[in-house]
Structure 1
Amino acid sequence: MKPLLLLDVDGVLNPIGRPAPGYRQFRCLIDDETYVVHLDPRHGPRLLGLAAATGAELVWATTWEHHANDWIAPRIGLPSLPVIGVNAAAGPVSEHGEMFKTPHVAAYAGRRPFVWFDDQVWAEDEEYLRVHQGLGDFLLVHVDPARGLTSRHLGMAHEWLTLTGFSQGS
C-alpha cells in the first residue's frame, strides 16, 4: 500500500507570525474573503522529493480543502493533489478531544500508512487514531505554527517511512 503524506496549510506551509527568509506573501480571494498567506516556494520541490524518495502520495488535509489546489499548490510548485474533506464547521475539537479533522483523516487513510504534518495534532489525536479500528500505522508530525514546515520535519517523515519499511522508494 502506497503511504500517504498529509499536508495542512495554515501553521504548516503558511506559518503564523513573522515568516522566515525565503517566504513570499500572497493574497488569495476565496468567497469574497481575502486571505494573506506566506509561502516558501522551496516547500513544493522538497515535498515532491520526499514523496518520490518514499513512494508516498501527497494529499491535502486542510480546511482550505480544494482551494489549496487553486491557491497554494501553484505557488509552491505542487501539482493538484487529492483532498481530504474536513468539516471545519464542526469546531476545533471533536467528541473525545481530538481535532475535528482527525476522524476524516482516519476514514480517508484506512489501512494505508501515513505521515500527517499539522500544527494542531496532539496526544488526543494520536490516542483517537491508535484505538481506531482497522487503521494502519501512522506518524503525527507536530509543526510549530510560528515556524512552519522545516527540513527536520521532512527528515522525520523520511526516516519513519524508510525505517518502518513503508517506503516504496527504499
Structure 2
Amino acid sequence: MKPLVLLDVDGVLNPTGHPTPDFRRYQCTVDGHAYTVHLNPRHGPRLMELALRTGAELVWATTWEEHANEWIAPRLGLPSLPVVALGRDRGSEHGEMFKTRYVADHVGRRPFVWFDDQVYQEDDDYLRAHQGLTDFLLVHVPAARGLTSEHLARASEWLTLTGFSQGF
C-alpha cells in the first residue's frame, strides 16, 4: 500500500507568525472572502522530493479543500492533489480535532504521515483506538513558524525506517 503524506495549509504551509524572507505574500479570494497567505516556493519541490523518494502520495487535509489545488498548489509548484473531504464539525469524542474523523475515513488502512498544526495526543489516541490504525505519524507543526526541514526529515525517516517506502 502506497503511504500518504497529508498536508494542512494554514499553520503548516502558511505560517501564522512573521514569515521569513523566503516566503512570498499572495492575495487570494475564496468563496468571496479575501485572504493573505505567505508561501515558501521551496516547499513544493521539497514535498515532491519526499513523495518521490519514499513512494508516498501527497494529499490535502485542509479546510481549504479543493481551493488548495486552485490557490496553493500552483504557487508551490505542486500538481493537483487528492483532497480529504471535510464535512461539518461533528464535535469530538475525546478531544480530537474535527478533521481527525475525516482523515481516518480517507486513509482507510493506508500508512500515513500527517503535517498539521492542530494534531495532538488526543488525535493519536482517537486514530489508534477508534480506527485501529497503527501505521501513522502525526507531525505537529508549530503554526507560527510552519513546516521546516526538521519536519520533512522526520517524515522521511519514519517512512523509510518503517519500510513503507520499499518497493516504490
The answer, yes or no, to whether TM exceeds 0.5 is yes
Contact in 1 for aligned 2:14/2:146 (Cα 8 Å): yes
CA distance in 2, matches of 1:107, 1:76: 27
Moved more, 15-24 or 57-66: 15-24
Partner in structure 1 of residue 21 of structure 2: 21
Kindly tell me the number of residue pairs found equivalent between the two proteins: 168
Summarize deviations over 1:15-74 as a string: whole Å, max 9, x none.
002011200000111111100000000000000000000000000000000000000000
Is the 2:65–2:85 Cα contact (8 Å) retained in structure 1? yes
1:133-144 superposed matches below 5 A: 133-144=131-142
The match for 1:111 is 109
Instruction: Evaluate the alpha carbon distance shift between residue 132 and residue 95 of structure 1 in structure 2; reply closer, same or farther with a 3 A threshold.
Output: closer
The match for 2:121 is 123
CA drift of 1:78 comes to 0.3
The equivalent of 1:148 in structure 2 is 146
CA contact (8 A) 2:104 2:131 kept: no
Alpha-carbon distance between aligned partners in 1 of 2:20 and 2:92, rounded to the nearest angstrom: 33
Q: Where does the alignment leave 5 or more consecutive residues of structure 2 unmatched? A: none
What letter is aligned with 1:117?
F
Matching of residues 39-78 of structure 1 within 5 Å: 39-78=39-78
Identity level (%)? 71
CA contact (8 A) 2:128 2:134 kept: no
CA distance in 1, matches of 2:143, 2:85: 22
Secondary structure of the equivalent of 2:16? coil
Q: Tell me the distance in 2 between the aligned counterparts of 1:49 and 1:94.
A: 35
1:169 shift after superposition: 6.1
Q: How far is the alpha carbon of 1:95 from its aligned partner?
A: 2.7
Q: Which amino acid aligns with 1:109?
A: V
Change (3 A) 1:168 1:28: farther
Structure 1 moving runs of 4+ over 4 Å: none
Q: What corresponds to 1:85 in structure 2?
A: 85
Please say if residues 56 and 168 of structure 1, whose CA atoms lie closer than 8 Å, have aligned partners that are also in contact. Answer: no
1:22-37 to structure 2, matched below 5 A, reads: 22-37=22-37
CA contact (8 A) 1:52 1:169 kept: no
Deviations 1:113-169 (Å, cap 9, x if unpaired)? 000000000010000011123435100000010110000000000000000111136
Select between 47-56 and 14-23 the one with higher mean Cα deviation.
Answer: 14-23
